[in-house]
Chains A and B, each alone.
Chain A
Amino acid sequence: MAITEAPKIVTARLGYEDSHTLERYLATGGYEGLRQALTMTPEAVAHEVDAASLLGRGGAGFPAGRKWALLAKKPVTYLTINGDESEPATFKDHLLIERDPHQIIEGVVISAYALQVSQAFIYLRGEFAFGLERLQTALNEAYAHGAIGADIFGSGFSIDVVLHPGAGAYICGEETALLESLEGKRGFPRIKPPFFPASIGLYGQPTVVNNVETMANIPWIITNGGAAFAALGEGRSTGTRLFALAGHVRNPGVYELEMVKTTFRDLIYAPVLGGGIRGDNTLKAFIPGGVSAPWFGPDQIDLPLGQDEVGQAGSMLGSGSVVIMDSSTCVVRAAWRITKFFSRESCGQCTPCREGSGWLERIMYRIENGAGREEDLDLLMDLCDNISPGVAWPPQQTTICVLGPSIPSSIASAIRMFRDEFLVHVKEGGCPFD
């Protein structure tokens, strides 16, 4: 077992009942990072974040420092925080928002200072009613404390932070869709290029979009230095990361682990983490990084929790969600439900995604419910190929955003790993697990 002694960076305060209050935050070193940052030049603050090699914690894993550096030539106008956590079985930002909102706010203000932005928006998914109340309360406290608003801590730097509720749409987690939504429109992802909102973002202005967990890491990086952060983990995957463990384990939950040094086996089986598969069942398959990611089998549980390591094995760490399926799981039903999700959440702009997801969902449904045909397996793969040619990883893109190419992951994984199980459904005219 390799559960390392790495410090807790974003969950350090969560042991306290009142971790969400300003009092607790201040008593545990809160807003010290901001005070320190304000004594540095904005460039020096950005340099620390760059030195930390902090990979964005949203899903794509783009280095936060480099995202900021894209703006070196062009002053940024807006900082937008993506708190639209909707990737199925991902619930880490939810935890940070409800239990340590000040940490996110401090990260936002430090980042705004580094980018010299005076307007930030935090976009939270609308279903986080409690989180919205917690964060708005914390924002009110932070204003009263002088950590947001005019002339923060007497530094001459001013910033306004607006909390913006979404209204229920998975696609708004895609950053250009999020910006459209923030502009008061339907959440339609924007056509690329430009690939980055850094060139054309909110209201057509240069905009940085960062994830909630990314922001939560910033205060620690400033207080302890980018080098201390980069010393944790290995290779490109530095620091710690939140893993949201769900499904058939004894202890589902959110765990902060040092990247690369810990494996999926540790996460699933260590008594202080997942605690093993529930009941007397065995591991059948797991999804390593959100439902957009290709699945892994039990033979891959010794892979380290690192972005490149998982990428080279043909999947991704993605949103940090790990879903465990035990031997009682019907993979046809699991893949069908994931496909139904994509079909419901497709924004409808691109034909391969809009039509393809629905066709796939209906074919999967008929196989699960006993009306499938053997040739449906080839038909499914052919449809997947139409959505993302080659059905490979990383996927080929035929659509405006990555939602479309994410659809084939679960179906292709299920067919490749459990073809026999599909055939049993077809031959027996129904689900053998019913």
Chain B
Amino acid sequence: MSHLSADVLEQAKGLVALYPEPRSALIPLCHLAQQQDGWLRPEAMSEIADLLGVTAAEVQGTATFYDMLHTEPVGTYVVSVCTNIACLLGGAQELLEHAESALGVRAGGTTTDGVFTLEESECLADCDRTPCVQVNHRYVGGQTAESFDQLVADLRSGALADMVPPHGTLVRVRRSVGLGADRGAIAAERAAMADAQATRAADAAAKTEADTKAPADAATVSGPPPSTVSAPAEGPKGGGAA
């Protein structure tokens, strides 16, 4: 008996088919499993491993690297309070402290009724509305202590159920169409494109040769050699990872 439901399995197989290598579907499949269970259960990781042709340890080893994949149970609503620089300047530390006392848990903890998990998160990229809060990775705008209490009440009463699905549901829009099935045709087309490109390059080279020959025959024109594209200076530029 499969742990993943028939519908999830079918979606999973569709996702695997999108990629040239099955393992690429690992993260999308983990999201799917979280959609079913709310968190990433060991049984789900084993089945994902079977679907991808890797070991369960490889699935777990990858999943534990990522903040959004929870290998321990979390609440129905994961509340992420960003305290990174822009939000810090907007009072996020104070909001997080308020959230801790309002929910009665420290950041990282889950309420005893299993409804809320509170997280202190890194930048969520919504920095003109600070302090930024997401619930199950849906933006709920910049929050104050008062609006946070209202948010918690609305989540409890189900008033935000349309906007914020239970934890684990990431993308509710399914891919409707695609080329995923017909890789043979793509390969043939690629070959044809490469041939055409080679032909054009050969034509261009022949033309350049003809052009450069003419003045050389005249033997009077001397000028700078044709400029060549210099190889870029290799090496990483200083910069952020994102």
The 8 A CB mask of B79-106 against A (1 = contact, 0 = none) is 0100111101110000000000000000
The 8 A CB mask of B212-242 against A (1 = contact, 0 = none) is 0000000000000000010010111111111
Contact B128 A254 (CB under 8 A): yes
Residue B10 CB within 8 A of the other chain: no
Which of A62, A177, A253, A345 is close to B237, meaning CB atoms less than 8 Å apart?
Answer: A62
The 8 A CB mask of A22-33 against B (1 = contact, 0 = none) is 000000000000
Residue A288 CB within 8 A of the other chain: no
A19 to chain B: closest CB distance in Å?
17
The 8 A CB mask of B3-37 against A (1 = contact, 0 = none) is 00000000000000011110111111011000000
What separation, in Å, do the CA atoms of A144 and B66 have in the docked complex?
34
Which of B26, B85, B237 is close to A291, meaning CB atoms less than 8 Å apart?
Answer: B85
What separation, in Å, do the CA atoms of A88 and B128 have in the docked complex?
12
What separation, in Å, do the CA atoms of A253 and B128 have in the docked complex?
5
Size bracket, chain A contacts:
35 or more
Contact A405 B238 (CB under 8 A): yes
What separation, in Å, do the CA atoms of A337 and B236 have in the docked complex?
26
Instruction: Tell me the chain A residues, 241-286 only, with Cβ under 8 Å from chain B.
Output: 244-248, 252-254
Complex contacts, A150 vs chain B, CB 8 Å: 179, 182, 185
Contact B238 A165 (CB under 8 A): no
Q: Which residue of A lies closest to B61 (CB)?
A: A186
A86 to chain B: closest CB distance in Å?
4
Residue A43 CB within 8 A of the other chain: yes
Residue B115 CB within 8 A of the other chain: no
Contact B238 A395 (CB under 8 A): yes
Q: Which residue of A lies closest to B136 (CB)?
A: A129
The 8 A CB mask of A180-203 against B (1 = contact, 0 = none) is 011111110100110110000001
Which of B124, B130, B177 is close to A144, meaning CB atoms less than 8 Å apart?
Answer: B177
Highest count of chain B CB atoms <10 Å: which of A88, A128, A139, A402:
A88
Contact A88 B85 (CB under 8 A): yes
Residue A370 CB within 8 A of the other chain: no
Residue B55 CB within 8 A of the other chain: no
Residue A4 CB within 8 A of the other chain: no
Residue A385 CB within 8 A of the other chain: no
Contact A165 B31 (CB under 8 A): yes
The 8 A CB mask of A57-70 against B (1 = contact, 0 = none) is 01111100010011
What separation, in Å, do the CA atoms of A185 and B58 have in the docked complex?
8
What separation, in Å, do the CA atoms of A181 and B19 have in the docked complex?
13
What separation, in Å, do the CA atoms of A150 and B28 have in the docked complex?
24
Residue A359 CB within 8 A of the other chain: no
B20 to chain A: closest CB distance in Å?
6
What separation, in Å, do the CA atoms of A327 and B23 have in the docked complex?
50
What separation, in Å, do the CA atoms of A291 and B242 have in the docked complex?
11
Which of B23, B66, B128 is close to A169, meaning CB atoms less than 8 Å apart?
Answer: B66
Listed A/B pairs (30) with beta-carbon separation below 8 Å: A70-B232, A86-B242, A87-B241, A88-B123, A89-B86, A126-B66, A127-B80, A127-B125, A127-B134, A129-B171, A136-B173, A143-B178, A149-B177, A164-B28, A166-B68, A167-B66, A167-B69, A168-B67, A184-B21, A184-B24, A185-B62, A192-B236, A196-B234, A246-B127, A246-B130, A247-B85, A290-B242, A291-B85, A318-B240, A344-B122
The 7 closest A-B pairs by CB, nearest first: A173-B242, A184-B26, A168-B67, A394-B238, A167-B66, A292-B240, A184-B23
Give me 16 other A-B pairs in contact (C-beta within 8 A), A140-B173, A247-B85, A402-B241 excluded. A61-B237, A86-B122, A88-B86, A91-B126, A118-B190, A128-B125, A128-B137, A132-B173, A136-B174, A136-B175, A143-B178, A144-B176, A165-B31, A316-B239, A338-B84, A341-B85
Residues of A within 8 A of B (CB): 41-43, 58-62, 66, 69-70, 75, 84-91, 93-94, 116, 118-119, 125-130, 132-133, 136-137, 139-140, 143-144, 149-150, 156-160, 162-171, 173-174, 177, 181-187, 189, 192-193, 195-196, 203, 244-248, 252-254, 287, 289-293, 316, 318-319, 321, 323, 325, 329, 333-334, 337-338, 341, 344-345, 347, 393-395, 397, 401-403, 405-406
